[in-house]
Copies of this chain bind each other. A is one copy, B any other.
Amino acid sequence: MNVETALQKLKEKGYKRTKQRERILEIFVNQDQYIAAKEILKEIQTDFPGVSYDTIYRNLYMLTDVDLLEATELGGEKHFRLCCDTHGHHHHFICTDCGKTKSIEFCPMDSINESLNGYDVENHKFEIYGKCPQCH
């Protein structure tokens, strides 16, 4: 996934192309890991000193909405990462040191649906936390 493809997808959905959005997308394309809102803000402020949290959050949520990003809560902060929908649904190992992730192709829901008769499953979360080989 590159920045242009992502912006194209936004255009199709009726969202405008802005410098701030380009920059936000660049950050995610360059870093294959979950990033907190405040880190995005810090990064962007080097180019656009005036950006506000409002802009960051609005765009992060919008990008999550159109499935360009996926979100999770880590240590009380929302974190986002590029949603690599080149391969299908999957989960992640998340390094609690460096934040880098490793895809887990296995989804536990495959083995489980029969035991939830009568329950309307809307969503699920499966994440593994620990230290990656580099940080270990």
Query: Which of A's residues lie within 8 Å of B, judged by CB?
Result: 73, 76, 93, 96, 102, 104, 106, 108-109, 111-112, 115-116, 118-133, 136
Contact = CB atoms under 8 A, between A and B. Distances in A.
B126 A122 contact: no
Given A93-B119, A120-B131, A124-B129, 6 more contacts: A93-B116, A106-B108, A106-B112, A108-B108, A108-B111, A116-B128
- Copies of this chain, how many? 2
B130 A123 contact: yes
Contacts of A73: 73, 76
Contacts of A76: 73
A122 B126 CA distance: 14
Contacts of A128: 109, 112, 116, 121, 123-124
A109 B120 CA distance: 24
A124 B126 contact: yes
A125 to B, nearest CB: 5
A135 to B, nearest CB: 8
24 contacts: A73-B76, A96-B122, A102-B116, A102-B119, A104-B112, A104-B115, A106-B108, A106-B115, A108-B108, A108-B111, A108-B126, A112-B128, A118-B132, A118-B133, A119-B131, A119-B132, A119-B133, A120-B130, A120-B131, A122-B129, A123-B130, A124-B128, A124-B129, A125-B125
